[in-house]
Amino acid sequence: MAEPIIAVQLYTLREFTKTPEDFAKTLSRVKNMGYNAVQVSGTGPLDPQFVKNTADKEGIAICATHIPFERLKNDKEQVIYQHKLWNCNYVGIGSMPDSYRTDREGYVCFAKEASEYGRILAENGLTLIYHNHNFEFRKFGDKTGMQILLDESDPDTFQFEIDTYWVQSGGADPIEWINKVKGRMDVVHFKDMAINEQNQQMMAEVGEGNLNWKDIIAACKANEVIWCAVEQDICQRDPFESLAISQKNLAKFGCHF
């Protein structure tokens, strides 16, 4: 059984990837922490060739991206070119547009539309992945939006990118959902959940919160997940320090980088 590889979701470092100079410095720091792969998201407007050259120079793989759904609809040729240039197989949709979220029909529509775009990507050797938040766990009748996406999307052209924090935030079980999408998820987001002094949920470094990492990691292995991207949208300290803490904890868990 192949071991999943840990990567950095660059959205965590979005304030440090706005310019070419900062992007290059950030990838160097990520490499020095012990990470060898990144998911490109939240960066400034960077030339795709520059991104490739910088990643190649640091020996960092680009495992996946997040792009707006509108870009997938309106800029498919450039999306395909960019991902092939980066040797990146996974085209990620970071969130469903607001207009699809209001009712069951919206979820069905999004599942069908995204599956069709996923078919075009698949014809070009790429894979569409969808990243959840907590809103997908709102119920419409007897099904959550997430279940509707699972049921109504094409398993051959629509993969999932489970985010452990947001599943828990939605009142669901991250391990159950990792198992539910077996065969339809090569990339997962590792994000922990803790409780702050105001008794509110907050994002935490992996291993510093309350999620069941032993069983989450075991489920990822059992379901043949390829990439586990560490993401922390909101950090309580310097984001580089947060990623270093996650890296050390995941190394203690026996994860591969």
Distance separating alpha carbons of residues 257 and 251, to the nearest angstrom: 8
pLDDT at 1 over 80: no
Average pLDDT over residues 165-191: 98
How far is CA 122 from its chain centroid? 19
Domain at 5-252, CATH homologous superfamily: Divalent-metal-dependent TIM barrel enzymes (3.20.20.150)
Distance separating alpha carbons of residues 168 and 76, to the nearest angstrom: 33
Average pLDDT over residues 227-255: 98
Domain boundaries, the chain: 5-252
Q: Which of 108, 133, 115 is nearest to 191 (CA)?
A: 133
Enclosing H/E stretch for 209: none
Distance separating alpha carbons of residues 121 and 206, to the nearest angstrom: 32
Enter the tokens of residue 202.
């907050």
Average pLDDT over the chain, rounded to an integer:
98
Tell me the pLDDT band of 2, cut-offs 50, 70 and 90: confident
Give the tens place of pLDDT for each residue, 92-137. 999 999 999 999 999 999 999 999 999 999 999 999 999 999 999 9
Enter the tokens of residue 206.
């992996």
Tell me the pLDDT band of 50, cut-offs 50, 70 and 90: very high
131, 93 Cβ separation under 8 angstroms: yes
pLDDT at 179 over 70: yes
pLDDT at 218 over 90: yes
